[in-house]
């Protein structure tokens, strides 16, 4: 809870800081930014409402054991590839993503595979892509970004295999 | 948007058939309180993006984060993504603002990837408590080079897929 509060303070502090800079540039810059930000907010709100309010249902119908099973030990590069797919397919927010990773780690999943899973989740989790990235960014950028990132969970796993466990 | 709506409706129906109406309402109540908690942060993110788009000098951005900004541009993008506060509700509006004021795909990819892999927000709030300190620090250490590599690969591919656009963009410098 404290971390969340800290993040909120930093977040609104940053808004206040850039707002102050805009204010120093003159009231016109200030009102233009405020209007722009408010319009973005109004545009984005229903999309996020659908995503956030619906995400619980998507998470409820995909059983977590299925995903954990893919990260099994001694799975090698096949396991890494499965982990990447699992990371992209994991529904819900960070609690679900990291919990699955933690369960996999505790139940004997390979560390490079779990690492690939966490990195792939961070890069490709379909719900974040569809609900957050696409509404805010040009769709062309999002698909391009995702495609370009495909090698990196594998690279991370390769580095992990080289340098070993923590 | 429609695809998500269909997916949500289908999932909700499955939950209803499995757990009945109370299961559906439980999840709905939880999600609505989650949404209410996120809403002010979404507003903060939108305002942050709008202010940044307004106050950053376009010329300077396209020089330091544009197509010909080189490795420095990718490093600036990655550093910016790592220090950016907040979650997806800040990262994507700000990234979109950077694109609008002259950053290229490469530098913006560095920023987004760095935010998602190195940014402290999610790591402190969720990863440390759930995955443990050892794993989190190890994961972040391995992730350090990835944002710049992703940005470099993005830039490399971009000029080959959209040669004319990249050319005219760098001519515009």
What's the pTM?
A: 0.80
Q: Are residues B28 and B101 in the same domain?
A: no
Q: What is the pLDDT of residue B53?
A: 82
Residues of B in contact with A136 (CB under 8 A): 49, 92-93, 95-96
Does residue A112 or residue A7 have the better pLDDT?
A: A112
Residues of A in contact with B34 (CB under 8 A): 52, 56
Q: Are residues B14 and B66 in the same domain?
A: no
Cβ count near B18 (within 10 Å):
11
B51 lies in some domain? no
Nearest residue, CB atoms, A145 vs list B3, B112, B124: B112
Q: What is the pLDDT of residue B151?
A: 96
Does residue B78 or residue B162 have the better pLDDT?
A: B78
Please check whether residue A51 touches B, CB under 8 A. yes
Q: Are residues B9 and B80 in the same domain?
A: no
Q: What is the pLDDT of residue B165?
A: 55
Total domain count, chain B = 2
Q: What is the pLDDT of residue B171?
A: 43
B74-96: average pLDDT: 89
> How is residue A137 annotated by DSSP?
S
Q: Are residues B5 and B88 in the same domain?
A: no
B84-93: average pLDDT: 83
Does residue A117 or residue B9 have the better pLDDT?
A: A117
In whole angstroms, give the CA distance from residue B102 to residue B170: 11
B72 lies in some domain? yes
Range of the domain at B72: 56-171
B81 lies in some domain? yes
pLDDT exceeds 60 at position A1: no
Q: Are residues B64 and B15 in the same domain?
A: no
Q: Are residues B88 and B164 in the same domain?
A: yes
Question: What's the complex ipTM?
Answer: 0.80
Q: Are residues B60 and B34 in the same domain?
A: no
A8-33: average pLDDT: 88
- Percent of the residues in chain B that have a pLDDT greater than 90, as a whole number: 35
Q: Are residues B165 and B98 in the same domain?
A: yes
Tokens 């694109």 correspond to B99
What are the tens digits of pLDDT across the range A36-78? Answer: 889 888 988 887 787 777 777 877 776 767 667 777 666 788 8
CB contacts < 8 A (A, B): 226
Q: Which range among B7-16, B138-147, B154-163 has the greatest average pLDDT?
A: B138-147
B64 lies in some domain? yes
- Residue B69, Cβ density class (10 Å: 0-12 exposed, 13-18 middle, ≥19 buried): buried
Residues of B in contact with A61 (CB under 8 A): 11, 14-15
Q: Are residues B7 and B36 in the same domain?
A: yes
B49 lies in some domain? no
Q: Are residues B145 and B60 in the same domain?
A: yes
Q: Are residues B75 and B146 in the same domain?
A: yes
B50 lies in some domain? no
């Amino acid at each position: 809870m404290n971390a969340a509060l800290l993040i909120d303070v930093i977040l609104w502090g940053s808004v206040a800081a850039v707002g102050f800079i805009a204010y120093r540039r003159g009231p016109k810059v200030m009102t233009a930014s405020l209007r722009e930000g408010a319009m973005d907010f109004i545009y984005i709100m229903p999309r996020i409402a659908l995503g956030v309010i619906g995400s619980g249902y998507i998470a409820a119908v995909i059983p977590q054991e299925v995903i954990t099973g893919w990260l099994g030990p001694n799975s090698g590069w096949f396991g890494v590839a499965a982990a990447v797919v699992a990371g992209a397919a994991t529904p819900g927010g960070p609690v679900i993503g990291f919990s699955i990773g933690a369960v996999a780690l505790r139940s004997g999943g390979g560390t490079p595979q779990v690492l690939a899973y966490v990195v792939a989740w961070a890069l490709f989790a379909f719900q974040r892509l569809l609900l957050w990235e696409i509404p805010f960014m040009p769709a062309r950028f999002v698909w391009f970004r995702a495609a370009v990132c495909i090698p990196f969970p594998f690279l991370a796993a390769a580095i992990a295999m080289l340098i070993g466990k923590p | 948007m429609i695809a998500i709506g269909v997916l949500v409706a289908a999932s909700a129906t499955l939950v209803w058939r499995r757990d009945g109406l109370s299961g559906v309402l439980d999840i709905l109540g939880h999600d609505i309180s989650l949404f209410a908690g996120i809403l002010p942060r979404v507003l903060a993110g939108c305002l942050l993006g709008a202010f940044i788009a307004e106050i950053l000098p376009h010329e300077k951005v396209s020089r330091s984060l544009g197509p010909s900004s080189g490795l420095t541009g990718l490093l600036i993008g990655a550093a910016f993504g790592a220090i950016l506060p907040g979650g997806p509700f800040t990262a994507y509006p700000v990234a979109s603002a950077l694109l609008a004021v002259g950053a290229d795909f490469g530098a913006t990819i560095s920023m987004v990837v760095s935010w998602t892999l190195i940014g402290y927000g999610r790591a402190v709030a969720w990863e440390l408590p759930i995955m443990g300190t050892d794993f989190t620090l190890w994961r972040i250490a391995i992730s350090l080079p990835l944002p710049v590599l992703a940005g470099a690969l993005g830039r490399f591919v971009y000029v080959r897929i959209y040669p004319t656009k990249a050319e005219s963009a760098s001519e515009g410098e």
